[in-house]
Structure 1
Amino acid sequence: MLNKILLVCLLFSAGSSLTCKWMDRDFKQYSESALALLKTMKTNSTNSIDDIEVDDAVAFPNELYKHASKESREERLSFVAHVLDEIYALFEENQTRASWPENTVDDFLDIISQQANGVRRCAGKQTTNHHKKNHRKMSLYFKRLSRHVLEHMDYSADAWEFVREEVRIHLHKVHLLASS
């Protein structure tokens, strides 16, 4: 009987460690692919993204990353998966005036979705109420990015270029957070 219990425990722990090998084996590759696609999407607009007027409501949420970096690995990965889900939702919005090919966006969304699913499998447990607050703040940030930049600028190519650059920074941040 003790051998059976030991075997079940061993198989369970081996299964969970196999799932998280995805982080070591695949996460970096997905990150690099997503960043490469974002780079190809960069426009050669005459306007600089620095020229775009955005209010403080869409200030980059550095403090949320700082809080997440102090959490357990599971909580950090849960936060990373949440950010990837938010990026996915943002890029599903109206891109008819964006200057990049639709198939590039489809490839980008596919990579982000697969990456979020892989990270979520490694995160394991559900987030606590304390951590849900940071997730909610991140969701609000992405909603403000959508409303104050994309909608306000009528989903223009310049608005999408601003969003693309913000997402690029987020992808770098989540890569660092997931690797720590």
Structure 2
Amino acid sequence: MMNKILLVCLLFNAGSSLTCKWMDRDFKLYSESLLALLKTMKNNSTDDIDLDNVVFFPNELYNHASKESHEERLHFVAHVLDEIYALFEENQTHASWPESAVEDFLDLISQQANGVRGCQALTQHKKSHRKMTMYFKRLSRHVLQHMDYSADAWEFVREEVRIHLHRVHLLASS
């Protein structure tokens, strides 16, 4: 009987460590690739964004997430990555970067979000990050749509996304 329990424990630990090796090994590589790609997409715009249109992220969500369990932090990270993906699917006709850069970015962020989700236990997450979802919707409406998806609006969004990618990297690494 003790051998069966030990075997189950070993299999469970082996499975979970295999799954989460992705976080140790690949998450950092994807983060670095995404940040490097965003850096190449940078537009040295001289126009300023109208501060009335700026949407500030509710920083307390990152602070709260950092105090959560590992599972909840991963859920939060995956949610942020999904929101970034949805944002970058919007109209980029006037963005200053090539379409291939956007395709590469979307591919990388999708793979990263899937990798994070693969490290989560198979439990249902009851927490909803409604404030985060609303933040990204406001970013879409109050910056991108209001500014007709201009290159300047996309540059502002690119910089916001860069900051979020840094923050989720720190959160996932903690």
Whether TM exceeds 0.5 here: the answer is yes
Q: What are the ranges of 5 or more consecutive residues in structure 1 without an aligned counterpart?
A: none
Q: Separation in 2 of the partners of 1:120 and 1:83?
A: 12
2:153 pairs, out of 159, 163, 167, with 159
Cα deviation for residue 120 of structure 1 reads 1.1
Residue aligning to 1:140:
134
Extract structure 1 runs of 4+ deviating beyond 4 A. Answer: none
1:174 aligns with 2:168: yes
Q: Separation in 2 of the partners of 1:115 and 1:169?
A: 16
Cα deviation for residue 6 of structure 1 reads 3.2
Cα deviation for residue 54 of structure 1 reads 3.8
Residue aligning to 1:127:
125
The residue identity in structure 2 corresponding to 1:18 is L
Structure with bigger helix share is 1
- CA RMSD in angstroms, aligned pairs only: 1.5
TM-score, normalised relative to structure 2: 0.94
Question: Any idea what SS the aligned residue of 2:119 has?
Answer: helix
Question: Any idea what SS the aligned residue of 1:36 has?
Answer: helix
Residue aligning to 1:91:
88
Residue aligning to 2:59:
62
Residue aligning to 1:80:
77
Contact 1:54 1:148 in 2 (8 A): no
Q: Percent identity?
A: 82
Q: Separation in 2 of the partners of 1:33 and 1:116?
A: 14
Q: Separation in 2 of the partners of 1:12 and 1:112?
A: 28
Count of aligned pairs: 173
Give the 3 Å change call, closer, same or farther, for CA 56–102 of structure 1 in structure 2. closer
Q: What are the ranges of 5 or more consecutive residues in structure 2 without an aligned counterpart?
A: none
Question: Any idea what SS the aligned residue of 2:43 has?
Answer: coil
